[in-house]
C-alpha cells in the first residue's frame, strides 16, 4: 500500500508527459521521413520517436524522485514505516538537531546524485548533448 500511494501519482504524471512528448515527436519531419523510407513501424517508434521523446520524460523523472523523497516523509509517518522520513519527523519531535541535519544533508546529496545521473543519461541517449568536461 505505501508503494502504491507513492507511485501512482508519479507514474500518472510520467505517463502523461511521455504521451504528450510522443505525440509531439510523431508529427516531426524526421519521423515522417523514416516512414517514407519504408522503415517498419516498430523501428520508427523505438529508434526515432521514443529516443527523442524520452528526454523530457527523464527530466520529469529526476524531479519526481526528489518529490518522492519528500512524499516519503508523510507516507512513512502515516504507515508507521521505518525510513528517512520517519527518522526526520522523530528527530524534530525529539529535538535531535544533529540527526535532522544528517537526514537533510543525506537527502540533498541523494538529489545531487540523481541530477548527475540524469545528466549522464542525457548524453547517452542523445549524443548531441555534450557534458561540460568533454571536448569535441
Q: Could you read off the pLDDT of 7-33 as tens digits, one per residue?
A: 888 898 999 999 999 999 988 888 888
For 48, which DSSP code?
I
Among residues 52, 46, 57, the alpha carbon closest in space to that of 18 is found at 57
pLDDT, tens only, 39-52: 888 888 888 888 88
For 131, which DSSP code?
P
CA atoms lying within 13 Å on the CB side of residue 87: 13
Among residues 6, 135, 17, the alpha carbon closest in space to that of 74 is found at 6
Q: Where are the domains of the chain?
A: 2-125
Domain range 2-125, CATH architecture? Orthogonal Bundle (1.10)
- pTM reported for the whole predicted model: 0.74
Name the one residue in this structure whose C-alpha cell is 519531419.
29
Amino acid at each position: 500500500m505505501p508503494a502504491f500511494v507513492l507511485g501512482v501519482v508519479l507514474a500518472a504524471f510520467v505517463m502523461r508527459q511521455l504521451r504528450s512528448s510522443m505525440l509531439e515527436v510523431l508529427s516531426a519531419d524526421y519521423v515522417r521521413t523514416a516512414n517514407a523510407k519504408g522503415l517498419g513501424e516498430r523501428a520508427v517508434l523505438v529508434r526515432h520517436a521514443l529516443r527523442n521523446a524520452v528526454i523530457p520524460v527523464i527530466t520529469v523523472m529526476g524531479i519526481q524522485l526528489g518529490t518522492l523523497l519528500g512524499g516519503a516523509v508523510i507516507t512513512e509517518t502515516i504507515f508507521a514505516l521505518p525510513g528517512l522520513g520517519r527518522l526526520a519527523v522523530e528527530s524534530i519531535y525529539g529535538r535531535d538537531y544533529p540527526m535532522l541535519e544528517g537526514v537533510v544533508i543525506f537527502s540533498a546529496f541523494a538529489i545531487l546524485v540523481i541530477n548527475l545521473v540524469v545528466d549522464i543519461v542525457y548524453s547517452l541517449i542523445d549524443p548531441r548533448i555534450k557534458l561540460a568536461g568533454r571536448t569535441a
